[in-house]
Amino acid sequence: MQYVGNVIRPPSEADSIILQVAVGCSYNACTFCGAYKDVPFSLKDDEAIKEDLLFAQKYCRNANRLFLADGDVLILSQKRLLKLFRMIREYLPWINRISLYGNARAIRSKSVDQLLELKAHGLSRIYMGLESGCAEVLQAVKKGETPETLRAAAASVNEAGIFLSVTALLGLSGVTLSERHAHETGKVLAAMAPRQIALLTLIPLENTALGQDVLAGRFHLPGPQTILKELYEVLFQLTETRCQFHANHASTYLPLAGRLPKDRDYLLRTIEHAMAGAVPLVPEFRRAL
């Protein structure tokens, strides 16, 4: 496979074939994300994609899932996406799940009928970043979205019957807005009704504006106890949400996973025990992106 730059995929796509269709991110303005800061957004041509599909056809026959990289493949035109899905079916007919990242802007650029058409051609799962349900935090990190526009994008995916996985970022508010960030993120996640929720914890990167703010003392990182309080508050708001819940990314202080609502009370008790010191936290040197 021919990859350009750092190819990033969700943890749940670890066993998937990674097909790079686009390089970088079409938006690439979030202050906390350093994944594609030095990579201009571009699309690979059909010949390059065909070569990778032929490689996968020969060497990846044991994998039945496919993830389309990089940061925002859904921004492609409907015509280009349908052509891509037909190529995948031609060369990798055994694939039973196709997933991709889709930011809210890209999702809203597609009508529900278009999303249904993509589903009919094989699109199974969309990963979308909420990051925060707090309007002030979203504005501060230049997400380019509001809680309302993010909920609207989620509603379209749900209406199309496509599996929606939503990520949020603990610690993104800094210390001052921590309580609002956690409370409103939990509320928005509940309203979005995703099939999967993944909570990560902020680790500032030096190549980002937010990372530079941390170094300059303009942004104060919440400590582990505050992060646990955020985790608890987000989960506390998910009273009727039915989904897979993951807070076990390498960035976390307290790895948790379960199904909601079945495991909600157990997960909340585990967080309480961790806040009381009865459950050990992941040390700083073991946390990673």
Q: How many CB atoms lie within 10 A of CB 114?
A: 15
Phi, psi of 71 (to 5 degrees): -70, -20
Rounded-to-integer distance, Cα 2 and Cα 20, Å: 8
User: What's residue 6's pLDDT?
Assistant: 83
User: What's residue 109's pLDDT?
Assistant: 96
Structure-block tokens of residue 199:
């909570």
In this prediction the pTM is: 0.96
Counting every residue written for the chain, the total comes to 289
Average pLDDT per consecutive 10 residues, the chain (289 residues; last block may be shorter): 89 95 93 90 95 98 96 93 98 98 96 98 98 98 98 98 98 97 98 98 96 97 98 98 97 98 98 98 94
Task: Kindly list the structural domains of the chain, giving each domain's residue range(s) and its CATH number in brackets, ordered by start.
Answer: 11-286 (3.20.20.70)
- How many distinct helices (H) and strands (E) make up the chain? 10, 10
Rounded-to-integer distance, Cα 62 and Cα 98, Å: 15
Q: How many CB atoms lie within 10 A of CB 15?
A: 10
Rounded-to-integer distance, Cα 274 and Cα 225, Å: 9
Phi, psi of 197 (to 5 degrees): -120, 130
User: What's residue 289's pLDDT?
Assistant: 86
User: What's residue 28's pLDDT?
Assistant: 92
User: What's residue 93's pLDDT?
Assistant: 97
